[in-house]
Structure 1
Amino acid sequence: MAPGGKGLFTVESVLKQQNNSLDHIYVCNITSKYGTQTWTASLKLQEITSAEGQDLIIPCRAPKDLQSFSLVWTFTIVNKTTDVLEYDSRTHKSSRSWDHAELEEENALRGDVSLNLQKPVSSEHSGIYTCVLSGAKTRHLIQTRVVFTPSRQGKDFLKYNLWMLGIVAGLIALLAITLVIKKYRAKSKRNQENAEEDAEMQSMNSARTLEEPQAGSKLMTKPSGSQS
C-alpha cells in the first residue's frame, strides 16, 4: 500500500500464477478500517484459439451486481497496448477505434459486452484482449489470449472443401453415366425386340405369299378334272 494523491492510497497485490490459473477468478477486496466502505477488483484469464479469417466473439460479461459501469476494450501485442472500443452502460453509447470490432447493443444492455471481431488476420490480431469494467468502487478485468491459426490451415480447409466438392461432382457424374448406360441398354433392347418382331412379320408374310399361288393353281385344275 502506497499513498496517492488527494489523501488516497494505492494498493497492489501480487499473487504467483498457478498452472491452472485459467480455472480461477482472482478477487481482491479492500475494506476501510471501520468497515464502512469496500473496494473490489477481480481478474480472470482465458484463452481462445480460432481460425484466421473467421468472425470471432471474445466473451466478457459484467457481474450481476454491477448495474452501472464503463467499459474499455484494449489489445496488447509485444508490450504495445491500443484502445479497441469503449462503452458506457448509463448512456448506452459506444465508440470504437477498430472498424472491424463491435458490440451487440441488445446484449450490452443485459451486461454482455463481448467483443465481435470480423475477419481477423493472425499476424495482426493475435495477442491479449483485455475487457475492463469499471464501476463505483469496483473494477473487473478479463484478459483473453487469442491465437489465430495460420493461413496454411485455411488453405488446407479450402483444399478439403475442394476435395469434397470433387468427390460430390464425381458421384454425380458417375450417376449420370449410369443412367445414360441404362437408358442406352433399354433402347438397344427395344430396338432388338422391334427387329425380331419385324423379322417374324416378314417371315409370316413370306409364308402367306407362297401359300396363295398354290391355292390358285388348285382352283384352276379342278374343273379340268371334272370334264374327264
Structure 2
Amino acid sequence: MTSVQMSRCAPIGSLTLELTRLSGYEEMKCTTRNVYPAPHVVWATDPPNSEVLRPITRKLADRRGLYTVESRLRRMKARAELIYICKVTSAYGTQTRTASLTERELSGLGGRDLTIPCHAPPYLHNPSLSWSFSSGNEPTLILTYDSLSQHSFASPPWRGRALLDMLGVSAGDGSLQLLNADHVKHTGVYTCVYSAQHNTHTEHTEVLISAAGERLHPWEPSHWWIIALVIALLVVALVGMLVYLKIKGSHSKPRKCPEEATELQSVKDKTEGSNLTETNPLAVENTR
C-alpha cells in the first residue's frame, strides 16, 4: 500500500457552479479540483431561504493525494430567481472561494428594445463583466467590461445592437440593453458573468422574442372568449327581461267586475227589447 505525504498545501485553484439535470431533476453542482487538504463546502441562498439546505458533498482523492470536491444541491422550484451561493474554504481557513448562480426567463417583442438584467452581488469588489449568447450552439461573446480600465469591448456582430450603461455597470448594474430585438436572431440564452479575485457570479436569462403582433406568452390562453361570453350572457338577460315585461303587461290589463257585467247585460237586453217593439208594430196589434 502506497502512502502519500504532502509536504505543503495545494490551494484552491478554481471553483465552478453550474445547473445540471443529469439526475432527473435540477441540481446546482459546485466543483473544485486538485486541492489538498480537502476543503469545506457551505451553501447559502440570496434571499435566505427558510428551508434547511441539504447538499450532498463528495470528496475523492487521486493517486497524488489531491482532492476533487463535488457538492450538489437540489434546486428549489418554489423560489423564482433565487441566487445559489457555494463557498469553499480551505481546511485551515486561510483561503476562500465563492461562486453564485441564478436563472430567469424573460420575454420581449420583436422590433423593440429590451433590457436584460444583471447585478453584481455585494461580496464582489470591482468585478469585471462579460456577456455571451447561445441559441443551441456554442456560446458567442457579446461584450466585455474591464473594471480596471472601465472600458467595454463589443464583438462585431453586436456592435450598435448591445449596450451597457457605463455609469450603472461601475455601480454594479451590468444590465444589457438590446436594441431593436429580432425574434429569430435574438431568441436564446444570455449569460452574464461577474468575476473578481477568488469570486464569480453568473446569471443565465432565457429570452423569448416574439414576432410583432404575437402575444409575448403564446402558451397562455386568450381571454377574448371570456369577453364574448359575458356579452352573450348580457344579451340573453336583456331579451329575457323584455319578454317578461311584455307578458306581465298583458296580464295586468284591468278586467270588468261581475256587477258591471250584469248591469251592462240588463241594459243590453232592454235595448234589444225596445228595438223589437219599435220595429214590429203588427206583433203589438195582435196581442190586443
**TM-score, normalised relative to structure 2:** 0.49
Which of 132, 136, 147 is the aligned partner of 1:74?
132
Aligned partner of 1:40 in structure 2 is: 98
Counterpart check, 1:64 vs 2:122: yes
Structure with the larger helix share: 1
Aligned partner of 1:124 in structure 2 is: 185
- The one-letter code matched in structure 2 to 1:145 is E
User: 1:12-56: per-residue Cα shift (whole Å, max 9, x none)?
Assistant: 444333433534111110001111111000001111111111101
Matches within 5 A, 1:80-119: 80-97=138-155, 98-99=158-159, 100-119=161-180
Which of 107, 110, 122 is the aligned partner of 1:49?
107
- The one-letter code matched in structure 2 to 1:26 is Y
In 2, the alpha carbon distance for the partners of 1:24 and 1:52 equals 28
**TM-score, normalised relative to structure 1:** 0.61
Counterpart check, 1:134 vs 2:195: yes
User: 1:51-103: per-residue Cα shift (whole Å, max 9, x none)?
Assistant: 11110111111122322211110001113210001001121010001110010
Unaligned runs of 5+ in 1: 155-228
Which of 124, 146, 150 is the aligned partner of 2:207?
146
- CA drift of 1:11 comes to 4.7
Change (3 A) 1:23 1:87: closer
| Count of paired positions | 152
Contact in 2 for aligned 1:21/1:45 (Cα 8 Å): no
Aligned partner of 1:3 in structure 2 is: 34
Greater relative CO (CA pairs within 8 A, separation 6+) = 1
Structure 1 outlier segments of 4+, above 2 Å: 1-4, 7-23, 150-154
Change (3 A) 1:54 1:13: farther
- The one-letter code matched in structure 2 to 1:144 is T
- The one-letter code matched in structure 1 to 2:168 is N
> Root-mean-square deviation (CA), in Å?
2.2
